[in-house]
Chains A and B, each alone.
Chain A
Amino acid sequence: MEKFTGKVWVLGDDIDTDIIIPTEYLALKTIEDMKQYGFSPLRPKLAGLIEKGDIIVAGKNFGCGSSREQAPEVIKALGIRCIIAKSFARIFFRNSINNGLLLMEQPDLFDHVREGEEITVMVNSHVSYNGRNYPLASLPENLVEIINAGGLVKAMRVRNGLAG
């Protein structure tokens, strides 16, 4: 079972796609160009502070709003290992899985965890923080297949022999 530890950034409820990556930066050529503006309407400095392997913990309805796939791509490019939220908006959820970004729902962690501290994630089992275990549901198999392949396009290589 996959296990990793990371430093936590805490965001609130209803973190929308326009906060994750504002419209005005979508015209930039690459995700690498865009990523410095991630979360800028809410926390302009955050993108510069996130380090590879960090974890976002958030409240309910993370990723609500637009279908822009740049949202999960920017988060992934910033080096975020996974997002643990009370709940996710459905288009964002699908887009994240399709881009190989790991998402997990956990109802209680958000109310207890403090920004800057470390948590340990045992995928499909639980999160450990401050001496307490917070249970995680198992991800459906078809989604694990996509995430492990690194996203839907790469998974198509396996299924349909289309990817080069």
Chain B
Amino acid sequence: MGMTIAEKIIALAAGVPEAKAGDIHTVNLDRMMSNDGTTHLTVDMYHNRLKDPRIAEPKKMVFIVDHNVPSDSPKTAAAQKKMRDFAKEHGIDFWEGKGVCHQIMMEHYVCPGELIFGADSHTCTYGALGAFGTGVGCTDLLYGMVTGASWVLVPETIKFNLTGKLREGVYPRDLMLTIIGNISASGASYQVMEFCGDGAKTLTVDDRMVLCNLAVEAGAKTAIFEADEIALNWLKERGRKPKAVFKSDEDAVYVKEYTFDLSKIEPVAARPDFVDDVVPAKKVCGVRIDQAFLGSCNNGRIGDLRVGASIVKGRKISDHVRFLVVPASRQVYLQALKEGLIDIFMESGAIVMNPNCSVCWGSCQGVIGENEVLISTGTRNFKGRAGHPSSKVYLGSAATVAASAVKGEICTADMLQD
């Protein structure tokens, strides 16, 4: 019987000829990533609950400080010191202040065909390069770190056949929010979202990251694209080689199939407090905002900053709005500097911050207060996600966020008057 890309990656990692949905396999993990959200807990368990602990292969581990950076209190400083000291002691790659963890992983580590655990739910981002990345808790991470292995239940795969091309002014973020709105926040529970079709060929690796990254908001274990020429060229430019390049077999088994015509996608917004409460962006126009956020592992890449800058260029951010611009990594930041984008943001009145998770996870910088409204390119709009439980988060594209920051209320880019 044929296998999907996800099944082939798991079979390879398990050292078996075939893996099919429903099987449980012990797999060797290619990499493990942990950030400052929970690494201190993993380190505590490592020291306090294991006898003679050891790390199976330190070179498989990557620690990244991105959630509270720079630290905002003695507590977070202590947690980060614990992580920093542990990484140094054990020869673990350590990154601090250089970017959001998934952006760092994509820029420097992820290779097609790899099976990667990350102690962060958005680890599914790595499917943009044909890798199987999935989020786990700190106990699973500890087990993987100590044994080099873990167990996985082989997930079913849903096929998303993409056709056509996104129109001008419509972005991969609009597409993915539309898909989540369509299938619901549990529409891909425990499953793999495989994106394919001619429409997939119109998407860059950065675009694919947007789709894969939000897959967990539909409940998916991961999302994946075939590592095609676009992905392999992207990888080559960064001096890396694939572990394995897989295609799904013609007779692979899919639990469900959907088709989305990219040319029919419109700008959308997810309303508070659910990522799947997705409506045409026009429907929420006029909602007064207090803050706008352009950044995150979903939408803080150079393309997103270009879109945002093109909208605020020559304009001023509304008097009553704080507009936070947070490049997803130092590479992105430097590129934005070279292109003059940072100048444009600063001149418009935006607050440009260092690469970090920022208000997307409701800690450190940019947290919003009672009854405040945020429009965001972040990953989630759960109740209280960005701060006070009574505050509200709308999710939209970089274009919608930047336009709203200028107008002081939610609006789409085409509605901005000069």
Chain A residues in contact with chain B, CB under 8 A?
14, 16, 18-19, 22-24, 26-29, 40-42, 60-61, 64-70, 87, 89-91, 94-95, 98-99, 140, 142, 151-153, 156, 160-164
Contacts and interface: CB of A to CB of B under 8 A. Distances in A.
The 3 A-B pairs of least Cβ separation, nearest first, read: A164-B51, A95-B137, A69-B137
B382 interface: yes
B20 interface: no
Contacts of B136: 67, 91, 94-95
B139 A95 contact: yes
B120 A64 contact: no
Nearest to B42: A69
A65 B151 contact: no
A152 B147 CA distance: 13
Nearest to B389: A41
Given A18-B362, A64-B185, A153 B73 contact: no
B41 to A, nearest CB: 7
14 contacts: A16-B380, A16-B382, A18-B383, A18-B384, A19-B382, A23-B385, A42-B383, A60-B186, A67-B137, A94-B136, A153-B49, A153-B143, A156-B143, A162-B51
A89 B189 contact: yes
Interface in B330-385: 361-363, 367, 380, 382-385
Contacts of A91: 121, 135-137, 216
B138 interface: yes
B38 A69 contact: yes
B274 interface: yes
Nearest to A164: B51
A30 to B, nearest CB: 10
Contacts of A87: 186, 189
Which of B24, B137, B387 is packed against the most chain A CB atoms within 10 Å? B137
A64 B121 CA distance: 10
Contacts of A41: 383-384, 389
B119 interface: yes
B137 A18 contact: no
B143 A23 contact: no
Contacts of B41: 69-70
B189 A61 contact: yes
Size bracket of the B interface: 35 or more
A27 B73 contact: yes
Given A18-B382, A67-B137, A162-B51, 4 more contacts: A23-B362, A26-B37, A69-B139, A164-B49
Interface in B42-92: 45, 49-53, 68, 73, 75-76, 79
Nearest to A159: B147
B106 interface: no
Contacts of A64: 185-186, 217, 219
A68 B380 contact: no
B382 A65 contact: yes
A69 B138 contact: yes
A67 B185 CA distance: 16
B221 interface: yes
Contacts of B52: 162
Nearest to B119: A67
A137 to B, nearest CB: 14
A162 B53 CA distance: 7
Contacts of B73: 27
Given A23-B361, A153-B50, A18 B380 contact: yes
A162 B50 contact: yes
B335 to A, nearest CB: 29
A23 B130 CA distance: 31
Contact of A65 (B38, B121, B142, B143): B121
A102 B348 CA distance: 52
B383 A156 contact: no
A12 B274 CA distance: 13
A91 B135 CA distance: 7
